[in-house]
A and B are shown apart, each in its own frame.
Chain A
Amino acid sequence: MNLHTLGLNHDSAPVEVREKLAFSPSSVPIALSSFAQSFPSSETVILSTCNRVEIYATSLDDSLSKDTLLDFFSAFHGLPKEEFADHMYHHQGINAVRHLFFVASSLNSGVLGETQIISQVKEAYQTATTAETTGSILNQLFQRSLTVAKDVHTKTAIGKGNISVSTVAVDLAIKIFKDFSEKTMFIIGAGEMCELVLKHLVERGAKTAIVANRNFDKAKSLAEEYEGKAINYEKLDEYLPQADIIISSTASPRHVVNVEHIKNAIKARRGNPMLLIDIAFPRDIDPEISKIDNVYLYDINDLNKVANSNAEERKKDIDKCVTIIDKEVAQYMAWVEELKIGPAISQLRNHFHEIGEQELERLRPKLGDIANDEWEHIVHSMQRTLNKILHKPAKVGKEKAKNGGGFQYVETIKHLFGIQHKKEDSRK
């Protein structure tokens, strides 16, 4: 099949090269229409994200190749080919189909199982349909790629379980508290990680936050950002009983929260559960605290362990994903072949009947004076013979197209009878 993809991603190229070749959202339509001008009978989609830049193109003629696509990149970005050609990969035909399905299903992503890529592929496709640079081949290809991606995500564990420390912390919080709207977050220290966890919790509905930091101004600025309350570091004890979720990340060499603190707090809370997340190293919260009833303590090691085991779980399902993808690739190829088999068979039929007519023309003068009826018989007999010969190949061709393998079949038939050759001649 005449489908090409040329591109680079986080694996094949350093960020400097990716930056140079990236298309901004506004330049994608321009690139698409300029491509359409250079290759009038083509279909194109451009996928440009921070991790990858890829062009998918197919054409009715043979004008597309790796070189013509490289030329396009070079001309559009005004860069000499040598600067980026080595970082680019090129796939053709079934491999290009497979590549897109891998990309859409996030098997090609830096973070396995991420779902952002699905919307990025969708967007790239929509941009191309708006620019009217897609046709039946790419429409079908991209629509199917989105279905495949959805399938892969629902039928496998590729996107299950969070794999970053901050989201894992939120996962744990969800398993302890029903919702966060009535809960109080208590932030000790004001590290970046603390803020990230807090941000995720706020996204999940958390409303009240208390921030304690040695540097009161810093505490105040973080508190203001989340409409929380900044308190003096010395007043820690006083406010702890209010805290449902404590997130700590200070640079303190000693424990900031000790067993007595929490024992008192839990008493004051009448046993209402507390979740403590210690992101600091060395640790801020005395690990002995986890022995207290209704208190749940997780440190950075625990969170990392969960994140890593989730990542491992995702990897385990790669084979399953590949199986799904390969099945879909085969189905898409079968669709393409079915698309082709009709014209191929009528080509074959025309070819045979042309030969038949030529032979009849040659025969007519040799027969001399015969009745019109007799001539009609001869013509019919010829047509019947040809149709009988053609019946089987056409039938098998349609079957092959349905079950895969039609592509090779068509190629073989064309090769056998020199049809491709003739068609190109006629175009010239």
Chain B
Amino acid sequence: MFSPIQFVFIAAIVLYLLDSIWEVGSIFNPNRFSKRLADYFIIAGLSIHCAFLIIVSAQSGTLPISTLFESSTFYLSLIVLLSVILKFLYRLQSLTPFVMPIVTGFSIAAVTLVKNDLALTANLKTFWLFAHIIPIFLGYASFTVSFIFSIMYLTMERQLKKKSFGPLFDSLPSLETLDALMWKTITLGFPLLTIGLVSGTVWAKTTNILGLLWYLDPKVLLGSLTWLIYAAILHLRLGASFHGTRVAIVTIVGFVIVIFTFIGPFLMGHKHGYDTGSVILEQEIIAPEAPGMIKVES
């Protein structure tokens, strides 16, 4: 059922699952679930996850995005990485209890639901692949984390307004902190998304990998919609009385679009450069790369 390499990822999921239990448990019963043990779980899980991605990359000779399964795990690893960085940078005890259950859920979905027969058909070793995929994925990961901050914000907001203070209330940081972090992750994700979209556009135009009507590719359209939503958030927050709660809600909407952009076209049967069948056979035919063109276009 699973290929041997997938078991490496499953090992990471087991650690993520344990981490989720410990992270959430430490909020409600700090004596029983130690935060230190949770830290070990997340670090071990992330290490195995990275090892998995490195093996996959080494095998295919390119970024771990040749299949939807691979790109999902790549995206999830960036979320965990970003959360761990933020956790230790800002001494945020309460971020990972929100992130890890979601990541664990997505990871399990990636292993069990994602069919492995779609593979990337484009030339996998061009500069444009890196210029397009890395910023886009980093941007998605930042938006995901900012989505989690907005959930934390709304949780906190609700408790403060309703005056009912549960165990979460004690462990969450202040509204102001959450607002700032939400803002920081959006402003980190937005330029990355912009770079990714621009390089994708250039790539599509120069190599024709998406055909002549590349701009009608659903993934391209949804990506642009995502860009517009986050641009609107930036604009509103900088310009008008648009704070806290409203930013949080729009951020959640933005994230839903991100997820839909990520997997939606696949579910609907659109490929965005992926197709069933052999990668090697098709890549030369569909995407003959003119080396000189990159320089001209960039």
**Interface members, chain B 219-245 (any A CB < 8 Å):** 240-245
By the criterion CB–CB under 8 Å, are A273 and B241 in contact?
no
Selected from B163, B172, B174, B246, the residue in CB contact (under 8 A) with A178 is B174
By the criterion CB–CB under 8 Å, are B244 and A271 in contact?
yes
A100 vs chain B, min Cβ distance (A): 25
Taking CB atoms, residues of chain B closer than 8 Å to A294 are: 243-245
Would you call A390 an interface residue if the criterion is a C-beta within 8 Å of the partner chain's C-beta atoms?
no
Q: Contacts A155-B31, A266-B241: A273 and B175 contacting too (C-beta < 8 A)? A: yes
Taking CB atoms, residues of chain A closer than 8 Å to B297 are: none
Interface size on A, as a range, is 20 to 34
Q: How far is the CA of A176 from the CA of B174 in the complex (A)?
A: 5
B19 vs chain A, min Cβ distance (A): 23
Q: Contacts A172-B160, A296-B161: A270 and B174 contacting too (C-beta < 8 A)? A: no
**Interface members, chain A 296-310 (any B CB < 8 Å):** 296, 298, 302, 305-306
Q: Contacts A273-B176, A296-B161: A175 and B243 contacting too (C-beta < 8 A)? A: no
Q: How far is the CA of A272 from the CA of B31 in the complex (A)?
A: 37
Q: How far is the CA of A3 from the CA of B206 in the complex (A)?
A: 91
Taking CB atoms, residues of chain A closer than 8 Å to B102 are: none
Selected from A160, A174, A271, the residue in CB contact (under 8 A) with B242 is A271
Taking CB atoms, residues of chain A closer than 8 Å to B177 are: 178
Taking CB atoms, residues of chain B closer than 8 Å to A160 are: 170
By the criterion CB–CB under 8 Å, are B165 and A271 in contact?
no
Please give the number of chain B residues whose Cβ is less than 8 angstroms from any Cβ of chain A in the complex: 22
Taking CB atoms, residues of chain B closer than 8 Å to A178 are: 173-174, 176-177, 180
B298 vs chain A, min Cβ distance (A): 40
Would you call B266 an interface residue if the criterion is a C-beta within 8 Å of the partner chain's C-beta atoms?
no
Would you call B169 an interface residue if the criterion is a C-beta within 8 Å of the partner chain's C-beta atoms?
yes
Would you call B156 an interface residue if the criterion is a C-beta within 8 Å of the partner chain's C-beta atoms?
yes
Q: How far is the CA of A269 from the CA of B244 in the complex (A)?
A: 13
Taking CB atoms, residues of chain B closer than 8 Å to A302 are: 163
By the criterion CB–CB under 8 Å, are A293 and B245 in contact?
yes
* B242 to chain A: closest residue by CB: A271
Q: How far is the CA of A314 from the CA of B170 in the complex (A)?
A: 15
B105 vs chain A, min Cβ distance (A): 28
Q: How far is the CA of A273 from the CA of B179 in the complex (A)?
A: 11
Taking CB atoms, residues of chain A closer than 8 Å to B173 are: 178
By the criterion CB–CB under 8 Å, are A290 and B241 in contact?
no
Q: How far is the CA of A174 from the CA of B169 in the complex (A)?
A: 11
Q: How far is the CA of A272 from the CA of B176 in the complex (A)?
A: 9
Selected from A155, A172, A271, A306, the residue in CB contact (under 8 A) with B241 is A271
Q: How far is the CA of A135 from the CA of B251 in the complex (A)?
A: 65
By the criterion CB–CB under 8 Å, are B174 and A177 in contact?
yes
Q: How far is the CA of A135 from the CA of B289 in the complex (A)?
A: 88
Would you call A267 an interface residue if the criterion is a C-beta within 8 Å of the partner chain's C-beta atoms?
yes
By the criterion CB–CB under 8 Å, are B241 and A175 in contact?
no
A181 vs chain B, min Cβ distance (A): 12
* B176 to chain A: closest residue by CB: A178
Taking CB atoms, residues of chain B closer than 8 Å to A175 are: 156, 160, 169, 172, 174-175
A158 vs chain B, min Cβ distance (A): 13
Taking CB atoms, residues of chain A closer than 8 Å to B243 are: 270-273, 294
* A298 to chain B: closest residue by CB: B163
* Residues 262-276 of chain A, each 1 if its beta carbon lies under 8 Å from chain B, else 0: 000011011111000
* A178 to chain B: closest residue by CB: B176
Taking CB atoms, residues of chain B closer than 8 Å to A267 are: 241
**Interface members, chain A 141-180 (any B CB < 8 Å):** 155, 160, 172, 174-178
Q: How far is the CA of A160 from the CA of B241 in the complex (A)?
A: 37
By the criterion CB–CB under 8 Å, are B241 and A176 in contact?
no
Q: How far is the CA of A172 from the CA of B170 in the complex (A)?
A: 10
A-B contact pairs, 17 of them (CB 8 A): A155-B31, A175-B174, A175-B175, A176-B174, A178-B176, A178-B180, A266-B241, A271-B241, A271-B242, A273-B176, A273-B244, A293-B245, A294-B243, A294-B245, A296-B160, A296-B161, A306-B163
Nearest 4 A-B pairs (CB), nearest first?
A: A271-B243, A271-B241, A178-B176, A270-B241
Interface residues of B (CB under 8 A from A): 31, 156, 160-161, 163, 165, 169-170, 172-177, 180, 240-246
